[in-house]
Amino acid sequence: MKDFFKDRKAPQRANYGFIKDTARQVDCATCLDNRYVTFPHQDYAQAKRCQDCLDYCPECSGEGFHFVQKPNGYRYAKECEACRNVDHRIAVFNKARLPARYHDRSFDNFRPHENFDPTRPYGNLPDITSYAMNRAREFYEENEKGILFVGDVGTGKTHLLVAIIRHLTLEKGINARFIEFTHLLSQLRAAYDRKANASDLIKGITEVPVLAIDELGKGRNNDWQISVIDELISKRYNRSLTTFCTTNYPLHSHEHLMKPVDTENAAFRNSIESRSLTDRIGSRIVSRLCEMMDLAELKGVSDYRKRDFKTVR
């Protein structure tokens, strides 16, 4: 019976580098011995115990506790660590608010394209993927640096970000939150309209040990929104909390402009001329982010969303 939970950390396989799936002996085909399954529920990804193997915990006969006898003969009930551990990780995953459509995305099922096509450029995607995976696997302590994934649309950045949060929550039980940048902006806009306190609004994402922000810099923003985001990033920076981000924008690129830029100016930030992350959210926030994160720049990767498009003749 002891082996029931023991081997769940064993799988080290991943498909990212076009490694072929290796058949692995599993007891439960439903959850591949993870003891949990994930599913979409309304807007968010959720997890629950695998009904095919952990509906009934064999360690505690489904009771949730064991009776332990002390040397003096006194018997007391002790919580079953095996199912408490799984339940804790499930609860942490459910609080992370990963998008529903990404509920099953992990490093195990990350592929640059659905069908391996050697003619498609993958650039440095396999390297970045193994880097991200190793960082997630080795992430044991808080106060670790995050990763800023920079790359074009459709290069798999969000999948990688989700896979990191999935691993940290479901495998390590670390508290984390995922947020889309445009969603954050619209929440802030609504808060501003009802004159809510910005610090209260962002409290949850200010203090969470690990925060993932997807599509940083996307969407129109105003000075007030930028000041709240500055407050968020500054507080996380001061507390040495870990933040992971993705962005479609290069960090700096003023080369295309023949004039000095003013990122303190909302009109410029929202103009079509603002094409870098610094243009869009200001140099102050970007310079903080650079200290909090390592840069992972995806280069030479083709857009996976176009993989199924055939040329029409």
User: Residues in the site for Zn ion, rule: CB under 5 A?
Assistant: 28, 30-31, 50, 52-53, 57, 59-60, 80, 82-83
Q: CA 215 to CA 153: how far, in whole Å?
A: 10
Output the smallest distance, CB 149 to Zn ion, in A: 32
Length of the chain: 313
Output the smallest distance, CB 227 to Zn ion, in A: 48
C-beta closer to Zn ion: residue 4 or 131? 4
Check residue 168 and report its DSSP letter: I
C-beta closer to Zn ion: residue 8 or 307? 8
Output the smallest distance, CB 16 to Zn ion, in A: 24
Report the number of secondary-structure helices (H) and strands (E) in the chain. 11, 9
C-beta closer to Zn ion: residue 80 or 125? 80
Check residue 158 and report its DSSP letter: H
Output the smallest distance, CB 1 to Zn ion, in A: 11
C-beta closer to Zn ion: residue 81 or 142? 81
C-beta closer to Zn ion: residue 30 or 134? 30
Pick from 306, 269, 290, 7: which is nearest to 150 by CA?
A: 290
Output the smallest distance, CB 100 to Zn ion, in A: 21
Cβ atoms of 47 and 28 within 8 Å: the answer is no
| CA pseudo-torsion sign 69, 70, 76, 78 | negative
Cβ atoms of 96 and 165 within 8 Å: the answer is yes
